[in-house]
A = this chain, B = another copy of it.
């Protein structure tokens, strides 16, 4: 039994994502059996880290969870110890509470802490690494917008759910000769819209990376209609924007600040298409359904690989690193590489070329 690691912490940061429990399991099981380590679960993400909500995980806690959605550790939106919302006599103030987290790290005698999260989490991993904590990152986000890895876990599960919805809407659009607009998540990157749009055979795909022209969208839908395809499916990323019309964009951005809001760009696209083409149009927003539920087999395998690799990095003392898929190999990259920039869809991507090749309009 290897002995470097005595006590290892795990936390899950940011939004829910299929595969979180699979990662936790593949860190915790070998940590206990292969390394004889104690595994400390930090509850509710960085909020729990700041507030010291932690407990030891048992083998039973991590058994039978590979296919369970959500995270047994919980997560939180109060996700940044360096900008922590605190109730004070003056109201909610944003304070640097990282020292509380560091205190808890030491108090619980952690030798390493593996943080599973997206872009925001990796920034925090980086800062705590600079402050001397032994941090490892695991790239998670359904949006697939993290740099320095081929793919994040959760992405393919979200695409699978969105594709199933597109399959359903194909039949109903066809029966009614309707245009169906489907908004999927993706505020800054169009990976989900592009992946699900290709897999679900969308006729139009609108992504943030390609500001779209209204006319192109209308033309394409009308052309299909003229050719006898009396229905169309339009797959819109949450962050898609028209090329022109700053006003419109601002209005949308305002809506986006309201988290319960419904009816962003998807609703707007639906309304405009109906008005301009005269074709009956309906909009569906696939919000939080994309985040929940059991991960696909692909994501369970990837998550298992990510978790075990993160543990190995911790055992090797490679702190400040993030696990990463490169080709068929799970490897490690400095977390600083991962946070240099958001990974958006390159305009010369094969996926975009493919979508165009099968006749999809990308709005440009």
Contacts and interface: CB of A to CB of B under 8 A. Distances in A.
Interface in A293-326: 293-294, 296-298, 300-301, 304-305, 308-309, 311, 326
Interface in A264-308: 266-267, 270-271, 274, 280-289, 291-294, 296-298, 300-301, 304-305, 308
A175 B71 contact: yes
Given A176-B16, A177-B44, A359 B70 contact: no
Contacts of A151: 328
Given A201-B66, A271-B260, A170 B292 contact: yes
Contacts of A291: 168, 172
A95 B15 CA distance: 54
A303 B153 CA distance: 21
Interface of A: 12, 15-16, 20, 25-26, 29-30, 33-34, 44, 64, 66-71, 74-77, 150-151, 156, 159-165, 167-177, 180, 195-196, 198-201, 259-263, 266-267, 270-271, 274, 280-289, 291-294, 296-298, 300-301, 304-305, 308-309, 311, 326-330, 350-351, 353-354, 357-359
A165 B164 CA distance: 12
Interface centre among A30, A263, A304 (most CB of B within 10 A): A304
Contact of A357 (B26, B172, B326): B26
Contact of A77 (B77, B176, B350): B176
Given A29-B359, A75-B176, A289 B297 contact: no
Interface centre among A30, A180, A292, A330 (most CB of B within 10 A): A292
B301 A195 contact: yes
A105 to B, nearest CB: 23
A69 B170 CA distance: 9
B196 A327 contact: no
Given A29-B357, A75-B176, A297 B159 contact: yes
Contacts of A301: 159, 195, 198-199, 351
A26 B283 contact: no
A308 B262 contact: no
Given A172-B70, A260-B283, A354-B305, A300 B198 contact: yes
Interface centre among A164, A169, A176 (most CB of B within 10 A): A176
A70 B159 contact: no
Contact of A168 (B161, B196, B262): B161
29 contacts: A12-B175, A16-B176, A26-B357, A30-B357, A66-B201, A67-B200, A67-B201, A69-B170, A70-B171, A76-B176, A150-B328, A159-B301, A161-B168, A167-B294, A171-B292, A171-B293, A172-B291, A172-B293, A199-B300, A199-B301, A260-B271, A260-B283, A262-B266, A262-B267, A282-B288, A284-B288, A285-B285, A296-B298, A309-B350
